[in-house]
Chains A and B, each alone.
Chain A
Amino acid sequence: MSAPFLDRHLGPSVHEREAMLAELGLASLEDLAAAVIPADILLPPGAAAEGLPEACSEADALAELASIAADNAVRRSLIGLGYHGTATPALIQRHVLENPCWYTAYTPYQAEIAQGRLEALLNFQTLVSELTGLPIANASLLDEGTAAAEAMAMALAVSRRQGARRFLVDRAVLPQTLAVLQTRAEPLEITLELVDPEALSGASLPADAFGLLLQLPGCDGRLWNPEPLLTAARSAGLISTVAIDPLAQVLLAPVGNLGADIAVGSLQRYGVPMGFGGPHAAFFATRDAYRRQIPGRLVGQSRDAEGNPALRLALQTREQHIRRDKATSNICTAQVLLAVMASFYAVHHGPEGLEAIAGRVLALRRALAAGLASLGLSCDGTAGFDTLVLRHHRAADLVARAEAAGFNLRAGVRGEGADEALAISLDELSTSSELETLLAALGDNPAAAAQAAAAMADSLASEGSDADAARAELSAAGLPVRRRAWLDQPVFHAYRCESELLRYIQRLVSRDLSLVHGMIPLGSCTMKLNAAAELAPVSWPGFAHLHPFAPHDQSAGYRRLVADLEGWLAAITGFAGVSLQPNAGSQGEYAGLMVIRAWHQSRGENHRRICLIPTSAHGTNPASAVMAGMQVVAVACDDQGNIDLADLEAKATTHAADLAALMVTYPSTHGVFETGIRRICEVVHHHGGQVYLDGANLNAQVGLCKPGLYGADVCHLNLHKTFCIPHGGGGPGVGPIGVAAHLLPFLPSHPLASLGSSSAIGPVSAAPWGSAGILPISWMYIRMMGGAGLRTASQVALLAANLIAERLHPHFPVLYRGAGGRVAHECILDLRPLKRSCGLEVDDLAKRLMDYGFHAPTVSWPVAGTVMVEPTESEALAELNRFCNAMVAIRAEAAAIENGSADPLNNPLKRAPHTLAAVTADGWDRPYSRQQAAFPAGAVQQGSKVWPAVARIDNAYGDRNLVCTCPSVEELAVRLDSTTLSPTPVAA
């Protein structure tokens, strides 16, 4: 039998753990857990592991998962509805999707060591902006359904129609988008009205409507010219959104040019596997006037301390972590890894390549229509892009015949049943030979099939299959087509040969710091090991290539995977059931609160809307509560950062009649296991409320205590933190919720899957199981670790955090500790005394850590002027030592400022980080040496130096001068002529 996986997952060896325990004066990991976790919630090992599998080796787990994947049947899905077959270029699969340099990176808050993915995201934003004709595009959203819901919320916020609460929705909207809109609209008191947009005109737009959503092409594949309606909507003061297909949009005039205020959609078909529904990169673009209202992350250009262009996240004050309950969106994470894939897909193909793909799809649609007509199966003759609708009394029979031949067609279209209509959606993978096979399956005899194939061949030969032919066909149908050159930025033209693209990808990789370089000790983010064995199955065709709406019997493997994972996560949290649908932590929060809301409603207590939130909570909590139609009431914290029980009791009593919930993070955002957690839950229950537990810090609890057993009613889990799904450089995430038995009936449903009871809330994500395609990662982790291993992992996480607290406390005071004098899985180090003694800001330390080869801990959260360190269980003692040594060395550098031996402004901290260009420049006029600048840790750094790509970035400059797309050729030319701007294009 091969070695247990546990030893590979854990950083410190058994001997190292003993030494670490000895340093802390502890005898065992169990002693440590007992010192950290309140006795009234700590479980013995047996009870903690109940319901969880025994550990197994990597090889055994892979074999077991392979048999599960084999239960999924991968067919050619021509179902469409927002999910399409796509050819992921092998280069992108190997060097982006499967490359830990991309997938283990964190969100690019520390921009100086994230220039690579920031540039890839700028390319993504540029692509979206060019596709949509709208200048401000964000760095991706979770899925098309939630992007449409964000558009609805933004439209409500910016509409000048006072008091209007009606949102008009195209009847041809994707069914899952409509369902997500319905979920989101109800708590915001928005009325959805389904409309036939082609029948609408300026005069028929209701006076109480604030916005309009069109789907082009519609779910029935139909295309029409929206320009008159968009113009009428604009003059009537409605905010209009168009959900577009990014491949069709290659040929069509950008909707922004036709008058749309917002465009949304999904770039899945740009090389991102379907993965049974996700994760994919959705997009959101809008007009310049709404730059401060756009949801999600936005990459923008600024400049660094040397005056060079540099990228970073722009206008962060829009985001929920700052606006809290005034935010109009709770969105935090993006889908960075998938957005990066899609951007490289566009870089790989360039505009001509994309047009060729789109042209071929349209030509094959036309040819297939001819072939079907030859079989006596006439499609409706409307203009479209990739989808044909066949209304036929034998529709169900035809779908069955196609399925027998390996094709999934869509049974039923837009209200017409499976026995009345079917739809066929073509994609990048479609070929004429494949369609001949399909026609053969649909035809009654070989002769008819041969005739149909000939009709198809005739169509292709006579009308052409290039982009020009496609544009001509669309134009002839009265549709506005794309006339002007687009995507002319150099990056979309420079990398046609694979050697060059490989080097470009590698060049971007070399500018980023990720877990391949060293630990990323971000508090509350749990940057633990993302093991290769956990990641590998994501690429298996049995998981990667399933359509989310494929026939039920084709996804037996996924259903087993989901059932296993739901069962294990329920066992871990002590809950009765789990929903895997939320595809980010924020969506988990929202789903959990909506479940609580539905429970109150079911008891005739719809008035319970008060949500108590401690002042220490993450900003997403209040933002989610407002989206769930709740009113936030803050609860004070005491000097130790714990919930002030007296204030909680007072607020709960005051609001007893209307109390809906308390949102509590446990262990607290201050990294402490509050001893009063049971009492806190009792107080809330006593006053009729429910307890929502934010599971951001679950990594301190797994295998040790269970939220469901100490009083929580709902808890969300971040599979991308605690259960090894990598951060992807800023997404994907997965944020399932676990609920107590009384809340089970309210877990989210989905219109296209048998999911949820009759009391269920609507879907919170576009796909039934959210980001199903990455669930194998967490399955592998739990399967390999086993119940006992998970407990050990949590204990080692506590051990590592306490070691760091012990080591660094003499240099940076540890701000909060639990009752036993220990911290939980993270600790907050106070830097405020250094601001007073030598003017040192938290950012100075964060940037200086880059010179030492580290990513900073979480800065100024949850307490301004501090850093929060979470080492996780996966870092070896040598790495923990290296980090502690760097922090101690930085403290010594600060001491040099304090005692006057270093200049207060011109010193290695204030001028960090130091680039290769700066320290190798011919001139060096700083009062410290180049060695100290670049190799502060000494000789140990010589072999492993990570160079920050740019010097300290000026955030204010970029926010005052927003640039969030790549410069075009013309802009570059102007820039080259200019003496005031750098001639170096950021994205060339």
Chain B
Amino acid sequence: MALSYPDDCRYANSHEYVRPEGERLRVGITAFAVDQLGDIVFVELPEVGATITAGSSFGSVESVKAVEDLNAPVSGVVAARNEAVLASPEELQNDPYGEGWLLMVTPSDPSEADGLMDAPTYRSKVEGA
């Protein structure tokens, strides 16, 4: 199965993506990460208003066989979180770049996302391995 990596997103080494939407960034995990995890059963996210710090854990995602920290791709403040994913973690599995988004973040430094990988770079990193 071919996994997708939308060009309008930027990607972190730890398999999170950010998609700029106006002043904010939509944050989720990539299709590659979802595929590696298998059946996702639980997602833990910070409250709205919480501060997240680039490179630090902001939550976790559990499948039936693994549990992984979610690492913040950028620093900022949580403006919204996807309550639907918390209630039905399968949303994340079915549509990681759409209905399965995790957070909307107001970045503390709007240029920070530029330091992340673009889609071709990320694709070659995960598929070239």
Contacts and interface: CB of A to CB of B under 8 A. Distances in A.
B41 interface: yes
A322 B66 contact: yes
A316 B66 CA distance: 9
Given A955-B39, A956-B39, A959-B41, A317 B90 contact: no
B89 A317 contact: no
Contacts of A860: 65
A960 interface: yes
Interface string B51-93: 0000000000011111100000000000000000000111000
B42 interface: yes
Contacts of A960: 41-42, 88-90
Interface string A944-988: 000000000001100110000000000000000000000000000
A317 B39 contact: no
A956 B41 contact: yes
Interface string B27-58: 00000000000011110000000000000000
Nearest to A323: B67
A926 interface: no
Q: Size range of the interface on A?
A: 10 to 19
Most buried by B among A323, A860, A956: A956
A292 interface: yes
Given A955-B39, A959-B42, A960-B41, A322 B65 contact: yes
Determine chain A's interface SS by DSSP, over half rule: helix
Nearest to B62: A317
Nearest to A312: B64
Interface string A308-319: 000000011100
Contacts of A956: 39-41, 63-64, 90
A860 B38 CA distance: 14
A547 B17 CA distance: 61
B11 to A, nearest CB: 24
Q: Size range of the interface on B?
A: 10 to 19
A960 B93 CA distance: 13
B64 A959 contact: yes
Nearest to B38: A956
Contacts of B90: 956, 960
Contacts of B64: 316-317, 955-956, 959
A867 to B, nearest CB: 15
Nearest to B68: A317
Interface string A323-334: 100000000000
Nearest to A841: B38
A96 to B, nearest CB: 30
A412 B13 CA distance: 63
Nearest to B93: A956
Most buried by A among B64, B89, B90: B64
A845 B41 CA distance: 24
A294 to B, nearest CB: 14
A317 B63 CA distance: 8
Interface string B5-21: 00000000000000000
Nearest to B67: A317
A862 to B, nearest CB: 14
A280 B66 CA distance: 31
Contacts of B89: 960
A960 B66 CA distance: 14
Contacts of A323: 67
Most buried by A among B42, B88, B90: B42
Contacts of A292: 42, 62
Contacts of A959: 39, 41-42, 62, 64
B42 to A, nearest CB: 7
Contacts of A315: 41
Contacts of A322: 65-67
Contacts of B65: 316-317, 322, 860
A860 B89 CA distance: 24
A633 B106 CA distance: 36
Interface in A651-677: none
A317 B60 CA distance: 12
A178 B59 CA distance: 35
A860 B66 CA distance: 12
Interface in A670-714: none
A292 B40 CA distance: 15
A322 B90 CA distance: 21
B44 to A, nearest CB: 8
A318 to B, nearest CB: 8
B58 to A, nearest CB: 16
Contacts of A316: 64-65
Contacts of A317: 41-42, 62-67
Nearest to A960: B41
A322 B65 CA distance: 8
Interface string A844-866: 00000000000000001000000
Nearest to B90: A960
A882 B66 CA distance: 34
A304 to B, nearest CB: 15
A-B CB proximity, top 4 nearest: A956-B39, A959-B41, A317-B67, A955-B64
Given A315-B41, A956-B90, A959-B42, 12 more contacts: A292-B62, A317-B64, A317-B65, A317-B66, A317-B67, A322-B65, A322-B66, A322-B67, A860-B65, A959-B62, A960-B88, A960-B89
Interface of B: 39-42, 62-67, 88-90
12 contacts: A292-B42, A316-B65, A317-B63, A317-B66, A322-B65, A322-B67, A323-B67, A955-B39, A956-B40, A959-B42, A960-B88, A960-B90
